Amino acid sequence: MTRKRLVIGNWKMYIESAESAKDFARVLKRKVRGISGVEVALAVPAPFIPVVSAMLESSAVRVGAQTVSGLSGAQTGGVSGAMVKTAGGTFALVGHSERRALGEDNVAVHGQLVAAASAGLVPVLCVGELERTEDGGHFSFIAEQIRSALSGAQSLAGKLVVAYEPVWAIGKHADSALTSAEVREMAIFIRKTLADVLDRKSALKVPVLYGGSVEPANAAALIAEGDIAGLLVGHASADVTSFVEIISACKK
């Protein structure tokens, strides 16, 4: 049996009220019902995890967090993996570039991955280079992000998902996203790196997603030709119509 594709929406802070979040979830639940072969997930702002997961309770759409803290105790503003789980979340993005830009380095991301997995959440490790250079330095940059996140945490990688999101391609439009060939090249490299860090068998189980300016216009080509297991969608996931179009483009 071939594995389902995985499409994760990352709302960031685009949806700002619980009412809008609930309305979105209500429509999504109805529209994805007939779409086969795709697992759908939504990474929502932490305060909306309870309302959105309650709304999606009887559907297959999963709900998760956009980050978790790798710390505990006296950490003002922190949200732990256990809190996300209690609120109804089943996964968490870790190491998204917008969090890294706030100063969360590879060591912090490792702590977040461990915290998420230890709490029983699926960690979605986001990696991506800031820029591409002629010498191919982006490959070693990505390898280091993967190695440092997973080092010593291999036993927690059973449910790992990796999302490749080149930072320079985030938040633009379809024509600024990578070509399918570029995505395929990096997906192969990521799987090879995972095989070095984990082992070949475990690495093959890790879905590798692409994110960065995924829109209805490029979703079908990326999924058909990019050699990826699914998509991580930012701005286009905050509009339910375009999100459903992207999910439909991934159906099998």
Q: Known catalytic residues?
A: 96, 165
Q: Which of 67, 230, 234, 240 binds ligand PGA (CB under 6 A)?
A: 234
100 lies in the site for ligand PGA, by CB under 6 A? no
Q: What beta strand segments (E) does 13-121 contain?
A: 38-44, 62-65, 91-94
In 74-192, DSSP assigns E strands to 91-94, 122-127, 161-164
**CB of 177 closer than 8 Å to CB of 217:** no
Helix axes 216-225, 240-249, angle to 10 degrees: 20
- Contact status: 211 vs ligand PGA (CB under 6 A): yes
Which residue's CB atom is positioned nearest to ligand PGA? 234
166 interacts with ligand PGA by CB under 6 A: no
| Region from 17-25, 132-140, 148-156, 229-237 binding ligand PGA, contact rule CB under 6 A | 229-237
- Give me the helix-helix angle, 216-225 and 180-197, nearest 10°: 50
- Annotate each residue in 171-200 with x if it binds ligand PGA (CB under 6 A) or - if it does not, as one string: x-----------------------------
Structure tokens at 111: 């702590």
First-last CA distance in the chain: 12
Site for ligand PGA in 127-156 (CB under 6 A): none
Half-sphere exposure of 228 (CA within 13 A, CB side): 33
Using CB under 6 A, which of the segments 49-57, 68-76, 106-114, 165-173 binds ligand PGA? 165-173
139's tokens: 């490959």
Number of residues that bind ligand PGA (CB under 6 A): 13
User: Is there binding between residue 9 and ligand PGA (CB under 6 A)?
Assistant: no
**235 in contact with ligand PGA (CB under 6 A):** yes
